[in-house]
Structure 1
Amino acid sequence: MRARYDDLWGIGELAARAGVTVKTVRFYSDGGLLPEASRSAGGHRRYGSDALDRLRLIRSLRTLGLSVPEVRRVLDEEDSTDGAGEALEGAVAERLRELGTEIRSLRWREAALRLVQESTPGERADRLQLIGGLSVPPSTAPLVRFWRGWLPPRMPRRSVDAFLDVAVPRPPDDPAPAQILAFARLNALTVAPCPGAAQPQPEAHRAVGARGAAVLYAGLAEAYELAGVQLRRGREPRAGEALDCFVDAYTSAYGVRDGGQFRRELAGQLAVDPRIDRYWELVAEVVTEPGRRPEPTPGAAHDWLLAALAVQTGTSPPTAV
């Protein structure tokens, strides 16, 4: 049943009631989002009262940041008899994801600006160069590539992913300037050319092969967690459950038995293996909020366990590099 002509509004009256411009009403009408009820004898657009509700809905959706195609999908679903709101839910969820990324980027830019602002004139050139090496929001891809070069080749993907979850820090969503600087330095460290011909993978890890590496790294993860408990308590390196778990990771990977001779040989091997203490120092700075006590990193736990092994076997502790 058609609405009576007297019940219809012209484009100007609809625009005034909705609080938008005539140009806006014409745009949505021409795009098919706002159907006309009829045309006057002179060809002017006429709209029913339902057009006001539709126009208000369009305006609300656009205010939320939905694109015109997304608005169209929402309206089409509203017009269908079985519309379940999936188009609106999907569009809102996608916009929230986009806003989360935008907000995170803005927070990183703000912290980076504060870092430059707080720097001395002598520090600014170096820090600007470090910041220039980052994407915004920051990517952990260089760190992942660094560790994929470090880990034994053909190591099972599940084991690699589990290690990367621990070794690659998640950039904080709302960083302090010091965390920006630490992450920028960490990024620079991982993209810099490695000394020597290849990535300095520890010989103690390389010798076990792909399958043994999966066993080794799973055992090390458990040992690092136990050592982390000791670090949080401020305990000095010593024999105990954490060290036994650490050694067991190597015996299981090598398929040998534990004993005093094995522990002395392992301590000697680990003492000369390459280490990346600077990486773990920067990781601690990235993940720790200013003013809080640093959480133990796998690197800190590894150093604690190496020192404990050196104490137990009477060997020299490894030298940091």
Structure 2
Amino acid sequence: MGIGELAARTGLPVKTIRYYSDIGLLPESGRSPGGHRRYTADALSRLRLIQRLRALDTPIAAIAAVMTGERSLAELVTHELDAVQARLREATWRQGMLRALDDCPGPERLRRLALLAGVGRPEEAHDSLVRYWHWALPADLPPRLARAVVEGAVPAPPDTPTAATVLGYAELHALATGDGRRRQPQRHQVGDVASFYAGVVDACALATEALATGCPARHAEALDHFVRAYARVGGHDDTPAFRAHLRARFRHGTRPGSFPLRYWRHALTVTGAPPPRSTATGPGHLAAPLAALHQRISGLHLAGDQIPSP
């Protein structure tokens, strides 16, 4: 079969078919006495496959991998789908950033621009938050418990970012990488760090279930676990007097500018309602259950600017 016949049967320009031949996608079977390219019978099916993949904007390099047998067509589809989804995530993240900068006063736009510049690549921002929590937690915290706290405290970049969630993520990143960042409770503050953090994580797991089910008994059980975690720090019992002391402490912790208040407020903006609990992820993200527990202790209604510290 000659190149002219292939062009006529596929509708492709001769120049395009010649290009595919030159880069090895469509091997020639030889040349005619006049020097014209000749192709075997399977060239037409190969060329139609190339043509259809190019119609989907499949890169030449990916098509070449299929033609050489390096990758199957199914593998190519999976790979290209993953690539498209990654580009879509990048595009929606950038859209959220631009929307966060749109329609706000000039000084605020400049402030947001400085924040958002730090999260141009959300995966890198996520890694920065993880590094902060590894730095902030006690060095002798058991690895499994430390992992549970970090996974619960660091939200993943939202899959469907909005202006609010992208800006919230940027605020989290700025807090975790700024000069005002602070460590979480250490051994000299809470004594048995494993017992304290395990108690907080267990209480959050129960609070997550309570939020999902609305079960009053679960809310009460979660609150008891939470209060006992703080009571053990100073060797106290869970008494009405201690709860009054803890209530005053938590109310004081909602003062403006508080690092924990700002962190959990922005985390809750990013995560929203608590995700379902699973054995793989433990209690899920900690922001919503911590907010619920704080509200039950302090009596404060937790609006967007009143999210507590553990």
Provide TM-score, normalisation by structure 1: 0.72
Residue 133 (structure 1) aligns with: 118
User: 1:224 touches 1:301 (CA, 8 Å); kept in 2?
Assistant: no
Per-residue deviation, 1:45: 0.4
Task: Please give the secondary structure, in 2, of the residue aligned with 1:175.
Answer: coil
Instruction: Identify if the C-alpha distance between structure 1 residues 37 and 245 changes in structure 2 by more than 3 Å, giving closer, same or farther.
Output: same
Per-residue deviation, 1:96: 1.6
* Among 207, 218, 226, the residue aligned to 2:198: 218
CA RMSD of aligned residues (A): 3.9
Offset from partner CA, 1:40-70 (integer Å, 9 cap, x none): 1111102244211101112223344444443
Instruction: Write the letter of the residue equivalent to 1:186.
Output: L
Task: Please give the secondary structure, in 2, of the residue aligned with 1:200.
Answer: coil
Residue 304 (structure 1) aligns with: 295
* Among 53, 64, 70, the residue aligned to 2:62: 70
Residue 202 (structure 1) aligns with: 185
Instruction: Identify if the C-alpha distance between structure 1 residues 235 and 200 changes in structure 2 by more than 3 Å, giving closer, same or farther.
Output: farther
Give the Cα separation in 2 of the matches to 1:126 and 1:40: 70
Residue 312 (structure 1) aligns with: none
Give the Cα separation in 2 of the matches to 1:26 and 1:179: 50
* Among 256, 262, 267, the residue aligned to 1:283: 267
* Among 96, 115, 122, the residue aligned to 2:81: 96
Residue 12 (structure 1) aligns with: 4
Residue 13 (structure 2) aligns with: 21
Give the Cα separation in 1 of the matches to 2:221 and 2:145: 23
* Among 147, 150, 154, the residue aligned to 1:164: 150
Matched ranges for 1:77-116 at <5 A: 77=69, 87-116=72-101
Offset from partner CA, 1:262-319 (integer Å, 9 cap, x none): 9579949976998601111111112239xxxxx96244145236538xxxxxxxxxx9
Give the Cα separation in 1 of the matches to 2:73 and 2:233: 53
Instruction: Write the letter of the residue equivalent to 1:160.
Output: A
Task: Please give the secondary structure, in 2, of the residue aligned with 1:77.
Answer: coil
Per-residue deviation, 1:157: 2.7
The 10-residue stretch of structure 1 (152-161 or 37-46) with the greater mean CA deviation from structure 2? 152-161
Offset from partner CA, 1:83-124 (integer Å, 9 cap, x none): xxx633333222222211110111121222222222123322
Task: Please give the secondary structure, in 1, of the residue aligned with 2:38.
Answer: strand
Residue 277 (structure 2) aligns with: none
User: 2:264 touches 2:287 (CA, 8 Å); kept in 1?
Assistant: no
Offset from partner CA, 1:195-241 (integer Å, 9 cap, x none): 6xxx33224685445xx52x4333322212333566679999xx932
Matched ranges for 1:124-273 at <5 A: 124-137=109-122, 139-194=125-180, 199-203=182-186, 207-208=190-191, 212-213=193-194, 215-228=195-208, 240-249=220-229, 258=237, 260=239, 263=242, 267=246
List gaps (5 residues or longer) in structure 1. 1-7, 79-85, 290-294, 309-318
List gaps (5 residues or longer) in structure 2. 274-285, 300-307
Task: Please give the secondary structure, in 2, of the residue aligned with 1:101.
Answer: helix
Give the Cα separation in 1 of the matches to 2:272 and 2:236: 39
User: 1:284 touches 1:296 (CA, 8 Å); kept in 2?
Assistant: yes
Give the Cα separation in 2 of the matches to 1:190 and 1:98: 30
Offset from partner CA, 1:146-205 (integer Å, 9 cap, x none): 21122110323322222222111122222221222222212111111136xxx3322468
Give the Cα separation in 2 of the matches to 1:252 and 1:61: 65
Instruction: Identify if the C-alpha distance between structure 1 residues 149 and 220 changes in structure 2 by more than 3 Å, giving closer, same or farther.
Output: same
Question: Are 1:41 and 2:29 an aligned pair?
Answer: no
Give the Cα separation in 2 of the matches to 1:46 and 1:59: 19
Provide TM-score, normalisation by structure 2: 0.74
Task: Please give the secondary structure, in 1, of the residue aligned with 2:172.
Answer: helix
Give the Cα separation in 1 of the matches to 2:74 and 2:189: 50
Task: Please give the secondary structure, in 1, of the residue aligned with 2:34.
Answer: coil
Instruction: Write the letter of the residue equivalent to 1:184.
Output: A
User: 2:248 touches 2:298 (CA, 8 Å); kept in 1?
Assistant: no
Aligned residue pairs total: 282
Give the Cα separation in 1 of the matches to 2:237 and 2:246: 13
